[in-house]
Amino acid sequence: MDIVSIESIAFIADGNYSSKYPRNDEFISEGVPFIRANNFENSTISDKDMLFISKEKHSTITKGHLKYNDVLITTRGNIGKTALVPKRHENSNINAQIVLLRCKENCYPKYLMHSFSIPFVKNQLDNNTTGTALKQLSVGNLRKIQIPLPPLATQKAIAEKLDKADALRKKDQELLKQYDELAQSIFIDMFGDPVQNEKGWDLINFEEVLKLKRGYDLPVQDRNQNGNIPVYGSNGILDYHTISKTNKPCIVTGRSGTIGKVHRTEQNCWPLNTTLYSYEIYDNNITYLEYLLNNLRIDRFAHGAGVPTLDRKIVHKEFIPNIKVELQNQFAEKIKNIEAQKELVKKQAEASENLFQALLQESFSFT
């Protein structure tokens, strides 16, 4: 079994165009797709939120021109995400976060993409990454990354097996996404957009429905991870502790840094000082409030350039639809049924993930 460097089996180029890099005013509504890391989805390219450049601009920045079945890998920020270029993105372009790998005759693209998921390769990526605030993997270091390279026929067999297992994972993930979309559509169907209030509900002051309060400081060294009390940051559960700051179900959302993500917890918790949490919901339904807060898009009230901050006093002054509790409860019952189905799919998704990881380990056991 050969262990070879990436540069020996693939042509390598990135989207770092220096002074020729597209300016903000050079992005247009239609044209040549300019792929970014956020366009990576399920190992391929999503057209959602795609940027475009003109053909003229595209012709001046040539090293990132893509071909069908190129392997793309992120080398800034979230390093090591991969995607395979579909036919529709033949001759698209890439930004500075991305490097393209174009397999030579002894390398199968899907095998190369899957190889970035094994510990042997992931550890090399970690060891060759630099930077703290913004992690980076230089093209020079990427060239030196080594992967196991069996004969081409074996590469294809491994890729085919992993593709089938990966398809099961994606099916479960897509089903979970569809359940989330169904829940959102039920909210809009019942209540409409709470910002636009196109259904003409009577309005009520936000803080008469829900009052938010700043969370509490809890340094990492003071947390007791043997506890079962979740510690919430703006992105969700960060840790666990033995003491809670709430004594009832609540809503937690980001106050500083990440703004707009909403989390509902049915158990007591410790919301950190980077969050706001609901300390008074009156008789309103907690599930309804979660969806209400999501649909209010409270990130629009954030201010500050470096680290965005959400001032609860501004949110409290908003006027929102006044929905009777009976109707809130009806909505919550529908969501309860959806969440029950989601739990079944999550168990299935966990099994699919375990299957994929087992096959991955088995397929690359020669490392």
Q: What pLDDT score does 136 carry?
A: 93
Q: What pLDDT score does 367 carry?
A: 56
- CA-CA distances (angstroms) from residue 331 to 178, 265, 284? 18, 18, 12
* 37-58 residue pLDDT tens: 999 998 999 999 999 999 999 9
Which two three-digit tokens encode residue 63? 């090293």
Candidates 117, 113, 154; CA nearest to 360 is: 117
> Are residues 78 and 37 in contact, defined by beta-carbon separation less than 8 angstroms?
yes
Q: Phi and psi dihedrals of 256, rounded to 5?
A: -140, 135
Largest Cα span, the chain: 71
Q: What pLDDT score does 4 carry?
A: 95
Distance CA 194, CA 203 (A): 10
* 96-129 residue pLDDT tens: 999 999 999 999 999 999 999 999 999 999 999 9
Q: What pLDDT score does 245 carry?
A: 96
Q: Which residue has the tokens 């300019």?
A: 34
Q: What pLDDT score does 366 carry?
A: 66
What's the CA dihedral at 49, 51, 52, 53 to 10 degrees? 180
Q: Which residue has the tokens 């359940």?
A: 179
How does DSSP assign 114-148, residue by residue?
A: HHTTSHHHHHHHHHT-B-SSS-B--HHHHHH-EEE
Which residues of the chain carry a pLDDT beneath 70?
305, 366-367
Distance CA 85, CA 63 (A): 15
How buried is 4 (Cβ within 10 angstroms: 0-12 exposed, 13-18 middle, 19+ buried)? Answer: middle
* 217-236 residue pLDDT tens: 999 999 998 999 999 999 99
Residues 6+ apart with CB under 8 A from 132: none
> Are residues 55 and 61 in contact, defined by beta-carbon separation less than 8 angstroms?
no
> Are residues 73 and 98 in contact, defined by beta-carbon separation less than 8 angstroms?
yes
Distance CA 201, CA 190 (A): 11
Work out whether strand 2-5 and strand 32-35 pair parallel, antiparallel, or are unpaired.
unpaired
Residue ranges of domains in the chain, CATH in brackets:
2-149 (3.90.220.20), 202-322 (3.90.220.20)
